[in-house]
Structure 1
Amino acid sequence: MSLGLKGIFCHLCFLRSEFSFKETWRHSLILSFQTLGVVYGRFSTAPLYVFGTIQTTNFKSNETAYEYFSFLFWTLTIVSLLKYTFIVLRADDNGEGGIFALYSLLCRHCKVGLLPNDRSTEEIMQHEECYQLSSGLQRSLSNIKYTSSTDAEQTISDDLRKYVPVPSACVITVGLFILQYYGTHKIGFMFAPIVTIWLLFISGVGMYNVFHWDPKIFSAISPVYMYRFVRKINKASWKSLNSILLCVAGSETMFTDLGHFSRRSIKLTFVCLIYPALVLCYAGQAAFISKHWNGTENFNHLSESVPKHLRHVFILLSLLASAVGSQATITATFSIINQCLTLGCFPRVKVIHTSDKRLGQVYIPDVNWLLMALSLSVTIGFHDVTRIANAAGMAIVFGMIVTTCMMSLVIALYWEKSLFVSGCFLIFFGFVEAVYVSACMLSFHKGAWYLFVISAVSFTIMLAWHYGTMKKYEFDLQNRVSTEWLTDYSPGLGVSRVRGIGLIYTDIVTGIPAFFSHFITNLPAFHQVLIFVSFKPHPVPCVPPSERYLVGRVGNKDYRIYRCIVRYGYCDQVRDTDNFEEQIIGSIGEFISLEESDSESLASPEGRMMIVGKPLVESNALIPIHDTTSVAGSTNIANNETLASPSGDFIERKTAVRRKKVRFLIPEGGARMRLSVREELQELIDARESGTAYFLGQSHLTVRDDSNFLKKFLIMAFVFLDRNCREPPVALNIPHAALVEVGMVYII
């Protein structure tokens, strides 16, 4: 019977997830308009440097323009239209996209995880009630090493140097990054008209050039011209394919920015506007080049194909479009860093959600200013647009290769297609991308090296953070203390219980953390109510509030020791809420009430974990009462925080605020409760009124003297990053007066 109920519940949850992402056509059109200003800036500015970065000496005849256009057309069609628009966009993870979304799907269906995990933890995290989702919420503290390949597109595609002096280009670049504060929604509406006018302009010019110079240019769509190009290939012409690759710049960001918009809006915009506009633009430019290849020196630049009386309009629009061109990469970088940060594979940075409707719309100030510094360094340091194009091309193709490899696994393991289908996808698209990799490697010394420097630094940071986090977690697992030590042996050591609630934050979900046993050993006292709180990520965008908390007991009922596991997805902001303590207390109360009817509540040594997540206003155990009190210089917030209001505007919370004090009462129907349940709930209320203390472990990692250089370097890098990055999110909402940090030395 339980299996039947579980199956029905899972089916209903699946239907709920399907219909929750349905959107009206009106909403799709609005999002489609916004994608023009955010997602497709890279695509729209590609014509500025695709033909323009090819050496003029590579054009031997009018046939050369035909051959390059053939490569352009089929690369744009195969990679951007076929691969990303019609295949990869379907592999979203509940609306989220990017390489991490693919990894997330594989993580759940293949049980992939790079951090250590003990069997007892796995059993607890996989525990299910009849009303729990039976799939998708398995524990996985995941890491992803390919982020640098996705966000390494950087903002180095800035082509402003071609039209304006370096100082002006730097000013425009700084202005672009300052605008990121306002969020995807406002930026999309702000930039979309610019991209729309630009696309209509270049497609119109392209159409004019086709009919005016060479109407036969569309015959170059035939793959025969690509064969002719390959047949007479040499090193110089093969290297020029690196420039052709730039026509698909922005394909990866279509998928990565999926969380900011929707699949339908991104696909609709590309198929109906972006693709035909770019084909017309490239066709017109190729038609112009076919008649002027032996003429002026800069015949292959887009500006030369524009009629002279429209040159001033072109310069103005190209300046504006170039400024917008980097927006897609900036937004994609925010998405990827946010996803990786939530799963603990990137140093802690501040994340601001800029929309209450689209969870994927985020702004990360630290990353924003870092990208701005990198963009300025490229603008000032590189004196040739071709060098920038070489670096951008290398970043583009490596990101695509990673997506192709992971997508082939998704097709076989998640979509459950045959290995033949998966292999065909890998071989077909992998071959196309391998061709461009070989072309990019020929230009390694001319700009592409910059990508490898940035990638090496990013990889080192992620590797050090992952390694330090892994070793720290292993130490916690190996040095944890059994539950019996606290509940059975501690009284014999003269440990006393004091009034109040003790919230102990720990990464482990079984046993007693080493830092708390260290505290008890040196100060033999702990609170009358203890709650061990663990935050556990899941490779899903969001965990529903009704399934967020797993609550159980530690030891016998009389000990009043509980364990609460808070589950969250990579788009959830569970730890940033001011009422988190109230939610924990309410969940414990709900657990006490539900446990009365659960005959298997003490089936395991650690206690049976139950899912509770009912909103406090509907609770059957405790009723919250809100009292607003003025708190001057409140320590509830460590730093001024900037949050998004429901209207999308930002509100800065000052340290002097009016904070809601929540008190709990037993409901009127509480008289029908079992006496033991009522007494336990009342004891929980009394303990809350007496005060709450928060215990955090403060780790000090040291390396053994006989360790090798690599191990010492990684640990030193981790310690440096840990000291200089932001505080853990949970620490931001803890009153300083109630915070107890227990330091321990971790010998790795």
Structure 2
Amino acid sequence: MSHSAPAAPALGTDLTQSPHGSNGNGKAKAHWPIVLAAVGVVYGDIGTSPLYALNECLINTPGSRAVAALGCASLIFWSLIFVVTIKYVLFVSRADNQGEGGIFALLALRPKSETLLCAPILFILAGASLLYGDGLITPAISVLSAAEGLKSVNPIFTPWVLPLACTILFALFWFQKKGTAKIGGIFGPVMVLWFATLAVLGAIQIVQTPAILHALNPLSGLALLKSHPVAFVGILGSVVLAVTGAEALYADMGHFGRPAIARGWYGIALPGLALNYLGQAAYVVRHPDDLTNPFTAIGPQGHYGILLVLLSLAATIIACQALITGTFSLTRQAISLGYFPRLGVIHTSAEHEGHIYLPFLNWMLGLGSICLVLGFKSSGALAAAYGIAVTGTMAATSLAFYRTTRYRWEWPRVAAVPLCVTFLLVDLTFFGANLPKFQEGGWLPLLIGGFILTIMVTWKRGRAEILRHILKQDIDVSLIVSEIEQENIHRVAGCAVFMSAVPKGTPIALLHHLKANRCLHKTVLLLTLSVEGVPRIPKEESVHVEDLGGGLWRVIARYGYMDTPNGPTLLAQLAAHGIEINPRATTYFFNRETIIPGGKARMWPWQKELYRVLSQNARPARDYFGIPPNQIIEMGLPVQL
């Protein structure tokens, strides 16, 4: 399929505008209700970083805390400007796939010349895999860091921090089955209140120490790194905690539109974050001997301090919610593009296609997050495991963005290379700065990412081998039509749908059915479901019908990777093509694969065994396509890999 390439921005173009018009997904204006909703969903993760980011920087910076505070605040501020504002808001967010963002959106825009598992695609898949580590760690560190605020209010609460964090995490993941729409209405106002609180707390401290504004000079941060070359890695490894969540800005773009996300960043999130980080640093400059977390130190004390803890807990829950739903969306895209085994997908909203719930994935994330809280016991310990996943995904996004600038926007190398190399150098610098954390917990996201990447590659390669096996047994459908016209096959009333992996030849299930029964329904559909590299296919363009003769029809149903196929709904659409079918009186024929080892498939023996296990435990295609189980007949399909 050919994709329409976004227009390449000319020199001097207003980079606040999308090449698709206003925002690339059809929303003409960023009305403030949409902006508030975007703030609630998109900036939850990055908005809760002040709870721990500057404190971790100070811990990893030797020497005077006052000098360290000034330099770290400068590094954090300019990281927010370069990574979030310049890279993601100004540039990467423009690389949308029909309005949808995220690393899989860019993967779907790959050049046709690239093979399915070439080196660039493997690198991008590795970045996507690391997002699962981020999805596991973010709820744990966010909730735990907020719960630790109770200790600053009164040390008597210290024994309750871990039980409280685990209870909140359990409740959060249990509530996912209710759907995000149940609580989505309060996300925006709560996060706006949170960012306003950050701004006010920071501004109060800045007024008392205006000299902290020297941190706005990037030379202050560079001077800190120059004066502590040995601690260079530790400092940058902590600074990156301030930009976690930048990938969510891009991934959730399709829900709100680019203008709403940009306006929310410039008008609400960035001012609140910048003021708070500067305010924390200002407090440390005045109180260099106070070793408490500067975020809790600048907050109100006593009963008002409890209110801040409750607000921070609410903000972290929202941050976790955004990342959980993002992981759900990422997984559905991977399933649709053929990189992940089918899982159960439940739609929790009739109005919003993107509101989904994946039970198995949800409880795996929930169990993993609770285990991390119990295993690491503090947000500081978890911070060591955090940066690798985030920076690895950022680097993969930079590579994918380069492919878009060159092959979709057709930028010349002289424009694309310097920009993308700059992005990649910053990403890899942050990634390298986090590698020394490997033994302290950095191995965890790499282990999770490696496991997910192995599943993706094995599943994709295994499906390709299955398809190759099916094509080897292909029989021209005209031979079946000829048999029908010669009346050698008895016809019975009703409609039969035979699922076909490719839009040509004869489905193996149909051949087995004719061999066993020598009869056929009067209406026969050879149905192929094709998932293409765009988010959604317009309804009027989604179905192609071809009359093969003899009551046989070939139907090709096209879906985007954000769509969910549904068999009965599809059959209802065929009336517009002259095929009158009663969906309730239709029989669906599927192949049931049985993987047999010992074949000549181009896979390692361990990959064949892993694919067999994945195939056995993947959700059956009949369930994934929403077909009633009492209308299904399965035919055995032994495949020797």
Class of the TM-score when normalised by the shorter of the 2 chains: 0.7 to 0.9
TM-aligned CA deviation for residue 24 of structure 1: 5.8
Aligned counterparts of 1:662 and 1:345: Cα–Cα separation in 2: 30
Residue of structure 2 in register with 1:210 after alignment: 206
Q: Given residue 103 of structure 1, which amino acid in structure 2 is its aligned partner?
A: L
TM-aligned CA deviation for residue 153 of structure 1: 1.3
3-state secondary structure, aligned to 1:399: helix
3-state secondary structure, aligned to 2:57: coil
Aligned residues: 604
Render the CA deviation track for 1:78-108: whole Å, top value 9, x for unaligned. 001111111111112122110011122335x
Residue of structure 2 in register with 1:264 after alignment: 259
Are 1:571 and 2:573 counterparts? no
Which of 371, 382, 385 is residue 388 of structure 1 equivalent to? 382
Are 1:28 and 2:31 counterparts? yes
Contact map agreement 2:348 2:355 (CA 8 A) in 1 = yes
Contact map agreement 1:351 1:364 (CA 8 A) in 2 = yes
Write out aligned runs for 1:253-402 (5 A). 253-293=248-288, 295-298=289-292, 300-308=293-301, 310-355=304-349, 358-402=352-396
3-state secondary structure, aligned to 2:340: coil
Which of 609, 619, 633 is residue 716 of structure 1 equivalent to? 609
Question: Structure 1 residues 735 and 323, CA, compared in 2 at 3 Å: closer, same or farther?
Answer: closer
Aligned counterparts of 1:410 and 1:354: Cα–Cα separation in 2: 33
Residue of structure 2 in register with 1:242 after alignment: 237
TM-aligned CA deviation for residue 193 of structure 1: 2.9
Q: Given residue 581 of structure 1, which amino acid in structure 2 is its aligned partner?
A: L
3-state secondary structure, aligned to 1:95: coil
Q: Given residue 265 of structure 1, which amino acid in structure 2 is its aligned partner?
A: A
Contact map agreement 1:150 1:399 (CA 8 A) in 2 = yes
Aligned counterparts of 2:58 and 2:24: Cα–Cα separation in 1: 51
Contact map agreement 2:588 2:633 (CA 8 A) in 1 = yes
Report percent identity of matched pairs: 27
TM-aligned CA deviation for residue 356 of structure 1: 5.1
Residue of structure 2 in register with 1:40 after alignment: 43
Aligned counterparts of 1:250 and 1:451: Cα–Cα separation in 2: 16
Give the unaligned 5+ runs of structure 1: 1-6, 8-14, 117-142, 591-621, 625-660, 664-690
Residue of structure 2 in register with 1:417 after alignment: 411
Are 1:168 and 2:148 counterparts? no
Are 1:156 and 2:158 counterparts? no
Are 1:746 and 2:639 counterparts? yes
TM-aligned CA deviation for residue 263 of structure 1: 1.4
Aligned counterparts of 1:544 and 1:534: Cα–Cα separation in 2: 17
3-state secondary structure, aligned to 2:48: helix
Residue of structure 1 in register with 2:215 after alignment: 220
Aligned counterparts of 2:236 and 2:583: Cα–Cα separation in 1: 64
Residue of structure 1 in register with 2:80 after alignment: 76
Write out aligned runs for 1:576-655 (5 A). 578-584=568-574, 586-589=575-578
Aligned counterparts of 1:434 and 1:20: Cα–Cα separation in 2: 29
Question: Structure 1 residues 78 and 55, CA, compared in 2 at 3 Å: closer, same or farther?
Answer: closer
Render the CA deviation track for 1:617-667: whole Å, top value 9, x for unaligned. xxxxx6x9xxxxxxxxxxxxxxxxxxxxxxxxxxxxxxxxxxxx679xxxx
Question: Structure 1 residues 340 and 699, CA, compared in 2 at 3 Å: closer, same or farther?
Answer: same
Aligned counterparts of 2:488 and 2:632: Cα–Cα separation in 1: 24
Aligned counterparts of 2:53 and 2:569: Cα–Cα separation in 1: 53
TM-aligned CA deviation for residue 379 of structure 1: 1.0
Are 1:104 and 2:108 counterparts? yes
Residue of structure 1 in register with 2:7 after alignment: none
TM-aligned CA deviation for residue 742 of structure 1: 1.1
Q: Given residue 428 of structure 2, which amino acid in structure 1 is its aligned partner?
A: A
3-state secondary structure, aligned to 1:443: helix
Residue of structure 2 in register with 1:252 after alignment: 247
Contact map agreement 2:127 2:394 (CA 8 A) in 1 = no
Question: Structure 1 residues 221 and 734, CA, compared in 2 at 3 Å: closer, same or farther?
Answer: closer
Question: Structure 1 residues 745 and 115, CA, compared in 2 at 3 Å: closer, same or farther?
Answer: farther
TM-aligned CA deviation for residue 189 of structure 1: 1.9
Are 1:90 and 2:94 counterparts? yes
Which of 589, 604, 627 is residue 695 of structure 1 equivalent to? 589
Question: Structure 1 residues 152 and 366, CA, compared in 2 at 3 Å: closer, same or farther?
Answer: same
Render the CA deviation track for 1:392-420: whole Å, top value 9, x for unaligned. 21111011101111101111221222211
Q: Given residue 467 of structure 1, which amino acid in structure 2 is its aligned partner?
A: R
Question: Structure 1 residues 480 and 24, CA, compared in 2 at 3 Å: closer, same or farther?
Answer: closer
Aligned counterparts of 1:150 and 1:356: Cα–Cα separation in 2: 28
Contact map agreement 1:145 1:462 (CA 8 A) in 2 = no
Please say which structure displays the higher CA radius of gyration. Answer: 1
3-state secondary structure, aligned to 1:532: strand
Contact map agreement 1:41 1:324 (CA 8 A) in 2 = yes
Aligned counterparts of 1:507 and 1:57: Cα–Cα separation in 2: 55
TM-aligned CA deviation for residue 470 of structure 1: 1.3
Aligned counterparts of 1:498 and 1:56: Cα–Cα separation in 2: 77
3-state secondary structure, aligned to 1:563: strand
Contact map agreement 2:127 2:392 (CA 8 A) in 1 = no
Which of 521, 525, 532 is residue 527 of structure 1 equivalent to? 521
Aligned counterparts of 2:205 and 2:62: Cα–Cα separation in 1: 19
Write out aligned runs for 1:1-16 (5 A). none
Aligned counterparts of 1:58 and 1:721: Cα–Cα separation in 2: 46
Aligned counterparts of 1:733 and 1:320: Cα–Cα separation in 2: 36
3-state secondary structure, aligned to 1:265: helix
TM-aligned CA deviation for residue 41 of structure 1: 1.2
Render the CA deviation track for 1:444-465: whole Å, top value 9, x for unaligned. 1111111012112212222222
Q: Given residue 711 of structure 1, which amino acid in structure 2 is its aligned partner?
A: W
Contact map agreement 1:35 1:188 (CA 8 A) in 2 = no
3-state secondary structure, aligned to 1:58: coil
Give the unaligned 5+ runs of structure 2: 5-18, 119-123, 150-159
Per mean C-alpha deviation after superposition, the further-off stretch among 398-407 and 508-517 is 508-517
3-state secondary structure, aligned to 1:508: coil
Per mean C-alpha deviation after superposition, the further-off stretch among 15-24 and 43-52 is 15-24
Question: Structure 1 residues 23 and 723, CA, compared in 2 at 3 Å: closer, same or farther?
Answer: same
Aligned counterparts of 1:320 and 1:529: Cα–Cα separation in 2: 56
Aligned counterparts of 2:210 and 2:546: Cα–Cα separation in 1: 74
Q: CA RMSD in A?
A: 3.0
Are 1:49 and 2:30 counterparts? no
3-state secondary structure, aligned to 1:568: strand
3-state secondary structure, aligned to 1:360: coil
Contact map agreement 1:495 1:524 (CA 8 A) in 2 = yes
Contact map agreement 1:503 1:532 (CA 8 A) in 2 = yes
Contact map agreement 1:480 1:511 (CA 8 A) in 2 = yes
Question: Structure 1 residues 318 and 280, CA, compared in 2 at 3 Å: closer, same or farther?
Answer: same
Residue of structure 2 in register with 1:196 after alignment: 192
Render the CA deviation track for 1:300-358: whole Å, top value 9, x for unaligned. 53112335465333323223222222122112112211211222221212323444554
TM-aligned CA deviation for residue 57 of structure 1: 6.7
Question: Structure 1 residues 491 and 743, CA, compared in 2 at 3 Å: closer, same or farther?
Answer: farther
Aligned counterparts of 1:179 and 1:29: Cα–Cα separation in 2: 28
Aligned counterparts of 2:34 and 2:218: Cα–Cα separation in 1: 36
Render the CA deviation track for 1:564-603: whole Å, top value 9, x for unaligned. 1111111223325x4433333x25526xxxxxxxxxxxxx
TM-aligned CA deviation for residue 209 of structure 1: 0.8
Aligned counterparts of 2:440 and 2:478: Cα–Cα separation in 1: 64
Aligned counterparts of 1:693 and 1:662: Cα–Cα separation in 2: 9
Q: Given residue 698 of structure 1, which amino acid in structure 2 is its aligned partner?
A: R
Question: Structure 1 residues 466 and 284, CA, compared in 2 at 3 Å: closer, same or farther?
Answer: same
